Amino acid sequence: MIHNNGPGKKSGVWEAFGIVYDHSNVKLDYVACKSCNKVYTFKTSTDTPRISKHKCPIPASEVAAVKVYFKKHIITKQEKETMTAAAADYCATDMRPFESLSGLGLKVLIQTALDIGSSNTS
C-alpha cells in the first residue's frame, strides 16, 4: 500500500512518490512511483535526489485517463465460474491452431470478459 505523503514533503518529488507500507500499516524502507508503481529503497532524506531522477514511462495524465475506465472490484464466484466455462468452451471449440484466433470460441471468451468487466463499472 502506498501512502501519499513523503517524509519531508518539501521536495516536489513527493507529488509523484509515496511511502510504501505493508498490510499491517507498518512503514517499510521503500517508496513507489504513484503512476507506474516502480519501487525504490528509501531510508533517509538523502535518497530524495536519487528518486527525483525517475522518469516514469507512463505520463500521469494517461494513467488518470485509464483509471476512469477501470475500477477495482472483487470478482464474484459466479463470474469466475462463467469465465472458466467460457475458457473451456474456447478450448473445445477452437482446438485447431488456425481456429484459435479466428474462431467463435475466442469471440465468446472475449465477450464474456467484457461483459463481466462492464457489469462492475456501474
3-state helix, strand, coil in the chain (%, to 5): 50, 15, 40
Question: What tens-digit pLDDT sequence spans the chain (122 residues)?
Answer: 566 655 555 667 777 788 888 878 888 888 888 877 788 888 766 677 777 787 777 665 565 655 555 566 678 899 999 999 999 888 888 777 776 777 788 888 888 888 887 776 55
The pTM for the full model equals 0.42
For residue 48, the model assigns a pLDDT of 73
For residue 14, the model assigns a pLDDT of 73
For residue 64, the model assigns a pLDDT of 60
Three cell numbers at 11?
Answer: 521536495
Distances in whole angstroms, Cα of residue 90 to Cα of each of 40, 62, 64, 102: 41, 33, 34, 11
Phi, psi of 30 (to 5 degrees): -140, 155
For residue 3, the model assigns a pLDDT of 62
